[in-house]
């Protein structure tokens, strides 16, 4: 199907918006009137620009407060419409959106509304324009799609149809089933937006919190199924008002938008990108660093051994159990401190996973590898993290491990068994995009979003996992400007005995994040512990939580560059210690204050 996007969904000037939409692969745009008014280009120039970019102008929007008004007011509205239809002729746009009136002059009279819309449609037809009438969820007398359709049906005019908008329909809790009763040729346009489920004024909700399909809580795909059942063959068009997208760069937002429509089309069965291949685990996490010593000291204290070195690059493999960390000191390293730059994900079929990623617009990275290296496919996640498509036990496929030769260093045994989860801090404007990326491109399941209090702001966090939790990624975003030391990435290492692992770490010279005594007094009030247990946690800085499935004990290392480690003992527990995150964040701020960095 053709895809379209309203210019209001993207930031920047009109030409920036058009360029971003075109680059992301959209077929057309809705021109939002304010974007046109603010543009120095003439309508003819805008039309030419769209043609150059391969975009059609699918809708001009909106015209407001037209229908069901006293006659002298309606005469003024027709005069306004005549101007707009002339503008549309110059623009080469043939469909105009008229949204239901919010005017205090509006009269609650469906027959009058139908009669005046019919007269508007007469004028439109003479100008070669069609009118798509949409019910605003906060319209004064018409606020539901079925009501708007009844008026259109009553008018019975060939140049008058309805525009369906998933936000207006689903935010009111209307049943979209009734859409199937509207003849497809009378649905002149379909606008799509999702939104998080919020209990708030519907106008504010619409103007600030709309998001792309798959990023909120509405069943947008279900609604689209009903629309398609009518024979509707117009574009799927995104109309998203969102405070974050208004500020974010238009290019990535447009790609995120188009990806949401690709996934939606897959869901409703009108497109079939390569099927998802869900990763089964983490092959490796790669740290890049300009100064390997601090991170190597930390890894040694955690019980990792440098078991292998890359044959052609300054990269070492540090291993313990199934936890594999690459430390890269190569020239490609960014000079802003140690950071988690890449993740190798294990897939049953890496090439198929890479094909899906590419089909869903993930930026494919060049295989910048030496001659003898395994040519791994890789893409960039929205935050820039490189994701490698790996297979460890498939002799017929390139094996990343074959690029490494053993150092002879024996693996130490300090109780770390595997990587439990990776916590990736997202740039503030990529959070919803990151969730959709990980769920659609990688086939991971997104869990509920949680808010965590940080002493200097609010952090949102959302985990994505596969079915057996062999891979867990916690995505988070801070509302406050990113503090690199505190809002760093972290790698959580699983152990069967966190007390023993923490003790070994401390005895090896490692330093754990100190946790305030007040936290342990609170734990004592909330839970009962065996004799001495709480004292041990207090001494080491181990945090504790419990959910319906089991217990969780965890502690944190100090931060190196922009990365820190967590040791976790998970006994059935399914969460990530969100309850403890505010204490951890506050403790990190305190350490940062003491050390000045
Ligand atoms: Mg709309
Ligand atoms: Mg964690």
Query: Separation of 71 CA from ligand 1 center, angstroms?
Result: 27
Fold (CATH) for 3-268 = TIM Barrel (3.20.20)
Q: What is the CATH number of domain 416-595?
A: 3.10.180.10
Query: Separation of 33 CA from ligand 2 center, angstroms?
Result: 46
Query: Separation of 543 CA from ligand 1 center, angstroms?
Result: 48
Query: Separation of 577 CA from ligand 2 center, angstroms?
Result: 7
Give the C-alpha separation, 27 to 242, whole Å.
Answer: 22
- Whether 234 contacts 195, CB under 8 Å: no
Query: Separation of 417 CA from ligand 1 center, angstroms?
Result: 52
* CATH class label, 281-406: alpha beta
Give the C-alpha separation, 57 to 16, whole Å.
Answer: 15
Query: Separation of 575 CA from ligand 2 center, angstroms?
Result: 9
Ligand in nearest proximity to the CA of 488: 2
Task: Count Cβ atoms within 10 A of the Cβ of residue 314 and give its class: 0-12 exposed, 13-18 middle, 19 or more buried.
Answer: middle
Q: Which residue, 109, 106, 18, 114, is CA-closest to 70?
A: 106
Query: Separation of 165 CA from ligand 1 center, angstroms?
Result: 5
Query: Separation of 252 CA from ligand 1 center, angstroms?
Result: 23
**In this predicted structure, what is the pLDDT of residue 486?**
64
Give the C-alpha separation, 215 to 477, whole Å.
Answer: 15
Q: Which residue, 231, 131, 132, is CA-closest to 181?
A: 231
Query: Separation of 220 CA from ligand 1 center, angstroms?
Result: 14
Query: Separation of 12 CA from ligand 1 center, angstroms?
Result: 20
**What angle, 0 to 180 degrees and rounded to 10, lies between the N-to-C axes of helices 14-23 and 43-52?**
20
Query: Separation of 30 CA from ligand 1 center, angstroms?
Result: 10
Query: Separation of 524 CA from ligand 2 center, angstroms?
Result: 22
Q: What is the pLDDT along the chain (597 residues), one digit of tens a residue?
A: 999 999 999 999 999 999 999 999 999 999 999 999 999 999 999 999 999 999 999 999 999 999 999 999 999 999 999 999 999 999 999 999 999 999 999 999 999 999 999 999 999 999 999 999 999 999 999 999 999 999 999 999 999 999 999 999 999 999 999 999 999 999 999 999 999 999 999 999 999 999 999 999 999 999 999 999 999 999 999 999 999 888 899 999 999 999 999 999 999 999 999 999 999 999 999 999 998 999 999 999 999 999 999 998 999 999 999 999 999 998 665 666 899 999 999 999 999 999 999 999 999 998 765 555 667 899 999 999 999 999 867 778 878 888 899 998 877 777 999 999 999 998 888 899 999 999 999 999 999 889 888 888 888 899 999 999 999 999 998 755 555 656 689 999 999 999 999 999 999 999 999 999 999 999 999 999 999 999 999 999 999 999 999 999 999 999 998 899 999 999 999 999 999 999 999 999 888 877 754
In the chain, where are the structural domains located?
3-268, 281-406, 416-595
Task: Indicate yes or no: pTM above 0.85.
Answer: yes
Query: Separation of 242 CA from ligand 2 center, angstroms?
Result: 29
Query: Separation of 163 CA from ligand 1 center, angstroms?
Result: 8
**In this predicted structure, what is the pLDDT of residue 595?**
72
Task: Please indicate whether the domains covering 281-406 and 416-595 agree at the CATH topology level.
Answer: yes
Query: Separation of 146 CA from ligand 1 center, angstroms?
Result: 15
Query: Separation of 167 CA from ligand 1 center, angstroms?
Result: 8
**In this predicted structure, what is the pLDDT of residue 478?**
75
Summarised one tens digit per residue, pLDDT across range 136-166 is: 999 999 999 999 999 999 999 999 999 999 9
Summarised one tens digit per residue, pLDDT across range 304-352 is: 999 999 998 999 999 999 999 999 998 665 666 899 999 999 999 999 9
Query: Separation of 191 CA from ligand 1 center, angstroms?
Result: 6
Query: Separation of 357 CA from ligand 2 center, angstroms?
Result: 26
Instruction: Determine which helix (DSSP H) or strand (DSSP E) holds 454, and give its type and residue range.
Output: strand 445-454
Query: Separation of 20 CA from ligand 2 center, angstroms?
Result: 36
Query: Separation of 544 CA from ligand 1 center, angstroms?
Result: 48
Give the C-alpha separation, 271 to 214, whole Å.
Answer: 16
Ligand in nearest proximity to the CA of 584: 2
Ligand in nearest proximity to the CA of 8: 1
Ligand in nearest proximity to the CA of 490: 2
């Amino acid at each position: 199907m053709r895809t379209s996007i309203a210019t209001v969904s993207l930031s920047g000037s009109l030409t920036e918006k058009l360029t971003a939409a075109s680059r992301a692969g959209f077929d057309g745009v809705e021109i939002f009137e304010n974007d046109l008014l603010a543009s120095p280009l003439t309508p003819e120039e805008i039309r030419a620009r769209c043609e150059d970019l391969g975009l059609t102008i699918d809708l001009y929007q909106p015209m407001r407060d037209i229908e069901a008004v006293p006659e002298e007011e309606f005469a003024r509205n027709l005069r306004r419409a005549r101007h707009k239809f002339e503008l549309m002729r110059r623009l080469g746009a043939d469909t105009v959106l008229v949204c239901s009136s919010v005017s205090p002059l509006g009269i609650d009279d469906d027959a009058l509304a139908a009669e005046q819309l019919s007269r508007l449609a007469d004028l439109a037809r003479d100008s070669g324009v069609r009118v798509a009438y949409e019910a605003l969820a906060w319209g004064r007398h018409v606020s539901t799609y079925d009501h708007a359709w009844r008026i259109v049906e009553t008018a019975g005019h060939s140049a008058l149809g309805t525009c369906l908008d998933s936000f207006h329909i689903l935010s009111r809790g209307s049943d979209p089933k009734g859409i199937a009763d509207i003849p497809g040729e009378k649905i002149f346009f379909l606008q799509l937006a999702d939104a998080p489920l919020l209990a708030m004024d519907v106008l504010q909700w619409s103007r600030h919190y709309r998001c792309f399909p798959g990023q909120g809580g509405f069943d947008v795909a279900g609604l689209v199924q009903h629309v398609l059942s009518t024979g509707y063959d117009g574009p799927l068009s995104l109309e998203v008002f969102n405070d974050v997208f208004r500020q974010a760069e238009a290019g990535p937002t447009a790609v995120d938008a188009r990806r949401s429509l690709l996934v939606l089309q897959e869901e409703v069965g009108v497109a079939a990108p390569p099927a998802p291949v869900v990763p089964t685990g983490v092959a490796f996490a790669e740290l890049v660093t300009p100064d390997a010593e601090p991170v190597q000291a930390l890894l040694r204290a955690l019980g990792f051994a440098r078991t292998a070195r890359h044959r052609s690059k300054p990269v070492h493999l540090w291993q313990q159990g199934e936890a594999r960390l690459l430390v890269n000191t190569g020239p490609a390293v960014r000079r802003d401190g140690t950071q988690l730059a890449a993740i190798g994900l294990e897939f049953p079929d890496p090439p198929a996973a890479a094909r899906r990623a590419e089909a869903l617009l993930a930026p494919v990275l060049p295989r910048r590898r030496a001659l003898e290296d395994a040519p791994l496919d890789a893409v960039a996640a929205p935050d820039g993290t490189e994701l490698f498509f790996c297979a460890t036990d498939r002799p017929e496929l390139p094996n990343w491990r074959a690029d490494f030769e053993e150092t002879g260093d024996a693996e130490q045994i300090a109780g770390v068994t595997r990587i439990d989860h990776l916590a990736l801090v997202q740039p503030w404007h990529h959070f919803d995009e990151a969730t959709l990326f990980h769920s659609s491109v990688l086939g991971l399941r997104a869990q509920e979003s949680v808010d965590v209090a940080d002493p200097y702001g609010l952090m949102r966090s959302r985990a994505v996992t596969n079915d057996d939790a062999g891979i867990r990624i916690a995505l988070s975003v801070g509302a406050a400007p990113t503090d690199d030391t505190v809002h760093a990435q972290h790698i959580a290492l699983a152990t069967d005995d966190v007390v023993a692992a923490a003790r070994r770490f401390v005895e090896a010279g490692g330093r754990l994040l100190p946790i305030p005594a007040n936290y342990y007094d609170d734990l004592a009030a909330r839970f009962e512990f065996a004799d001495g247990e709480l004292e041990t946690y207090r001494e080491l800085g181990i945090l504790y939580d419990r959910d319906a499935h089991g217990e969780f004990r965890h502690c944190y290392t100090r931060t190196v560059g922009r990365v820190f480690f967590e040791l976790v003992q998970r006994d059935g527990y399914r969460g990530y210690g969100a309850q403890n995150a505010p204490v951890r964040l506050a403790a990190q701020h305190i350490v940062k204050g003491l050390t000045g960095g």
